[in-house]
Structure 1
Amino acid sequence: MAWLRVCFLALVGVVKSVDLACTDAEPQSPRDVTPGYTGDLATRYEPYGEEERRNFLQANLHFHLGAEHKNVGEYDQAPPSGDLASTVAPGLFCNPDALSPAEKAPYNFQHCKNVSVGLTYEFHWVFSSGAPGQLADDGSEGELGIADGLGGAFARTVNADVVVRGQVCLIYNNASLDTAAKIEADYADFLTKWRSPSAGQAVKYVGSTTGSSYNDNVCSPAEVNWHVDLKCCKLSAQAFDRTCQAMYDEGLREDLKPKGSRPPVDRRWVADVTFPLQPVCEIPFREGNTN
């Protein structure tokens, strides 16, 4: 069964023995999610929605410098000039003019690495049918069973179904969050839950894993059901740092800093349709449920 192990390792990014040409690949991500934008590749099935996602377990949370996806009028700007606090490949950005001078004030991050106020990050919550789930003890993956990278998504099966929530956020300094209780309320368990989009403000589509190792020539072999918020959210630096603290407490180390962004892929490699994502009520993560 050596071939099975090689396939598994290739899927989770530990090894990549042969590059997959985009001409041979299924629909890719990230993509332009601007309403009305269409790709050239046929969608073979309707992607999983929120009801299905709630049956999966969270495997990871990570974030990219800039938006990997694109939505004209929301997150479509070129990277700003100057210090991006990181050397990884940047994606697209929200309009920084949405922030007041006070909201642009620097913040001393204690837990997140190589991040800055005024910049845009795309957060990815990875849910999988193959995730390990909660651990019975204080193992290295922590209480939730989440881990750095995508390996946890395939921990129990090599052909796992994967749902990834993507949310693009502009980071601002909220000086009014001057107590731990206020920060905790604003954080609102961002480790496991995104800022729930309003009805009609999110889409789902069939795509792939992302990251700066792929482009319009070399494509990802791993399929993903994507849920993407169409709006640029504002996330306080305080809540962002609290999220990284929670990630650290769960055993994550490498994902406390931003990953590089893959540019939106050419429409030749994009699914022909997106579907509206119908929101459902969020349920806080507790032992015994899967959110």
Structure 2
Amino acid sequence: MASCALALAGCANETIAAETDAATEADVSAQVETVEQAGLCLDAGPQTPRDIAGVYGLNSVTFPKAPPSTEMNLCNIHTHTNAEHKGPDFSVFVNDSDYGGYACNATQDLTEAELTPVEGAYGKVKPGDTIEVHWVHTTCDAAPGEGLGACVPETCTDPLLRVEAQVFLVVNDESAADFTELAAVRQAGGVWQPGGIPSSTGTPVSFRGSTTGPSYNQMQCSPAQVTWSVRPQCTKLDINSLHAWAEEGNVFNETKSHGVRQLVTAPELLSPIE
């Protein structure tokens, strides 16, 4: 009787194991089917923007990380309204339009003076807005110029790209950061460099991703491979300096802030942050 009972127990265990395996396979199949039904562009590499407070990602496409920006050529500077990324200091969701994205947490604390309207040459930005500035760098032998095409000239093969990103809270206050200084271009150590990038806004979060902008989403992905460094804290920027940058003219031919790509949230499209 004992041996019979043991046999029955063994049969039961095998049955349970088989049912568990079948259930696991069904769960995996269901998850794959859900992802496919969502229309995610799974054949692309890791995408941007993302919530930089999260390190989780399932995208297995990898590529060499770009060297430090100080060893690369600055090739483009442009801005987005609002922040494309979400971070600890810019986590207020605005909306899902082309000029949606995220706002700095301190927006509601601005003074009446900081919010005083001012006319100028740089469009799509006003006091109280949040912008995300991108300093784009390339390993190509390239000079600063208009658009991302300046970063990958036809004569350059297999370029590595890096974007240094900083989120700003725009105010009418000349004591705030001066964009004409931050967006200046100079040569240092044989490469083109920016006038400056804030260094007091936290340790940049670095990860593999793509280009951004409103023409991309989770169904239409960017094929570009970009190393990102996104600073986690906002800082204030003087609106008057933005207007001055546009009025004086700049080598990037930038006269207005660009739209945003909505946050990429599907783990399948995000690289793990190391």
Give me the TM-score of the superposition, normalised by structure 1: 0.69
**Sequence identity (%):** 30
C-alpha change, 1:158 and 1:257, in structure 2 (3 Å) is farther
CA contact (8 A) 1:57 1:127 kept: yes
Aligned position for 2:170: 171
The answer to whether the aligner puts 1:106 opposite 2:105 as a matched pair is: no
Superposition deviation, residue 43 in structure 1: 6.8
- Please show how residues 61-210 of structure 1 align to structure 2 within 5 Å: 61-72=77-88, 74-79=89-94, 88-95=98-105, 96-109=107-120, 111-133=121-143, 146-155=144-153, 156-174=155-173, 177=174, 186-187=178-179, 189-191=181-183, 192-198=194-200, 200-210=202-212
The answer to whether the aligner puts 1:23 opposite 2:33 as a matched pair is: no
Superposition deviation, residue 170 in structure 1: 0.8
Residue identity in the other structure for 1:190: L
CA contact (8 A) 1:77 1:92 kept: yes
Superposition deviation, residue 45 in structure 1: 5.8
Distance 1:93 1:199 in 2: 16
Distance 1:199 1:21 in 2: 33
C-alpha change, 1:189 and 1:206, in structure 2 (3 Å) is same
Aligned position for 1:271: 271
CA contact (8 A) 1:59 1:152 kept: yes
Aligned position for 1:220: 222
Give the structure with higher Rg (CA): 2
CA contact (8 A) 1:58 1:131 kept: no
Give me the TM-score of the superposition, normalised by structure 2: 0.73
Indicate the SS of the match to 1:151.
helix
Distance 2:85 2:149 in 1: 23
Residue identity in the other structure for 2:117: P
CA contact (8 A) 1:62 1:256 kept: no
Aligned position for 1:56: 72
Distance 1:221 1:215 in 2: 12
The answer to whether the aligner puts 1:211 opposite 2:188 as a matched pair is: no
Superposition deviation, residue 224 in structure 1: 0.5
Report the count of equivalent residues. Answer: 222
CA contact (8 A) 1:130 1:152 kept: no
Indicate the SS of the match to 2:47.
coil
Residue identity in the other structure for 2:44: A
RMSD: 2.6
Superposition deviation, residue 243 in structure 1: 3.2
Distance 1:239 1:131 in 2: 30
CA contact (8 A) 2:180 2:242 kept: no
